[in-house]
Chain A
């Protein structure tokens, strides 16, 4: 449908000059988005002395020392490990618990079902920012302050509302007839869940998983209160926390800070490029759902 109607839409407009304008707008948008990132990456190839002498210059010669230092520092890899562990743990928790809760809400009829759904939706109204301080005290009282679990559990809890809201429509959309057919063919409820529900809801699961992963990977306030204030060793701080700490500690060594910041961007960007469609689709799906 779109293929057929696009030429018509263009033929119906009389602004021939619009085409170049659009490309200028597009190019400007690209440049504004990318140039600051490129500046950080490229400047990371300059020595701090060189940077101090002229902050805007091109690397001459290209100096690999900054990047080499970061890539050989246990602290950087510790942060990558820590961020990965927390993000994978959070994602797993969100997907498993979210799927169970959403499945029950979407496909079982019981008293208080609507109430349960409203309860989870209301969870959206309780932002992490508000809960952060008391939460860190609570974690301290139950001995999870300064542990990975102390970060993963609250992150899962705060990601569940969005997850359930995205997943419930997915699960509701699976026709009852399929379930009946499966049970006639001898599938148990668990079998139906594994063989039919899981594959059919996979796109939704990937979307919520990607959102949970990115949210955890980019999080800062909670790691600040749980890891930094919780006395976890610096080598195990998540990346955002680690980068911030590094840049304060070595603020004089601009080249090193630039390289550390550049390399911290890489995992999220790689992940984004790999999952681009899911992320963009997930966001718009989340918004429309």
Chain B
């Protein structure tokens, strides 16, 4: 498991087509080429846009929906199963479904026309200005259910006595959620954010089957770039992989150090007994 990553580091210093012996050592040239390629820089930017949008939009949305649904209600099982359906589908199959829905003559445009908003119909994934936003929309559709269920599971661990006491003291529902429930949900939120960041940094399947990173690099990510330009040139692809790895590693380490320290501290203490 670690071997391939080490190999990537070795290959990345060679100009190599993957077949002959490794003999054309070129030092950091592959890295220099990647880091000066506007398309690769754009891909990194796209990854971080997705990270930012996920944290700012998916997180709060999931928390609000989970807070509202966190009660005994009719059809609770059905709701949970239904919102989890997109998560269970393979990213490829979800991606292909949306590609069909969003094609110029697909279901979404047909729906817009049928409700009289035909002017809004457009080739969603085929034009650079909308493609990345639409991609984010699809990802939200796919992963929001998971985030909601995670938050609901986290809410099970929030003791109800505190909110009851606050309610008796006259605090409003929103105040209780904001000052008591959400802070207590902190560990779950931090874990979700971590999973979301790492997933967004390594985004590949969904983009590859819907747009292959296009149009003109609008949805390109580090991983799609790696496959697109690295499959015929493993030396270069490996350099891209190493950059991707270092970015994930730095984020993971910083995040663990700063955000999840407390949570991990408690689980360590429990594990050592």
Binding site for B on A (CB under 8 A): 2, 5-6, 8-10, 12-15, 18, 21-23, 25-26, 29-30, 32-34, 36-37, 39-40, 43, 52, 54-57, 123, 125-127, 129-135, 137-138, 154, 157-158, 160, 168-169, 172, 214, 217-221, 224-225, 229, 239-241, 243-244, 247, 254, 257-258, 261, 264-265, 268-269, 272-273, 276, 279-280, 283-284, 287-289
Contacts and interface: CB of A to CB of B under 8 A. Distances in A.
Contacts of B109: 55
A265 B93 contact: yes
B69 A265 contact: no
B88 A214 contact: yes
Contacts of A6: 71-72, 160
B234 A9 contact: no
22 contacts: A21-B68, A26-B68, A33-B84, A37-B89, A40-B101, A52-B105, A56-B114, A125-B249, A129-B223, A130-B202, A134-B238, A158-B1, A218-B91, A220-B91, A240-B205, A257-B96, A261-B100, A264-B93, A268-B93, A269-B88, A287-B192, A287-B195
A9 B100 contact: no
Given A5-B160, A55-B110, A220-B92, A29 B83 contact: yes
Given A9-B160, A220-B92, A30 B79 contact: yes
A137 B234 contact: yes
Contacts of A40: 97, 100-101
Interface string B36-50: 000000000000000
Contacts of B238: 133-134
B200 to A, nearest CB: 12
A158 B5 CA distance: 12
A268 B90 contact: yes
A247 B202 contact: no
Given A21-B68, A37-B85, A283-B150, A134 B97 contact: no
B271 A169 contact: yes
When A and B form their complex, which 10 residue pairs have the shortest distance between CB atoms, in order from nearest?
A56-B110, A12-B167, A284-B153, A131-B4, A218-B90, A240-B92, A134-B7, A135-B4, A55-B110, A130-B245
A134 B100 contact: no
Given A130-B245, A268-B90, 4 more contacts: A14-B172, A22-B71, A137-B7, A218-B89
Interface residues of B, number: 90
A81 B270 CA distance: 43
Interface in B251-273: 252, 267, 270-271
B16 to A, nearest CB: 10
A76 B32 CA distance: 44
B110 A284 contact: no
A127 B200 CA distance: 13
A12 B79 contact: no
B98 A22 contact: no
Contacts of A123: 1-2
Contacts of A18: 68, 173
Contacts of A254: 100
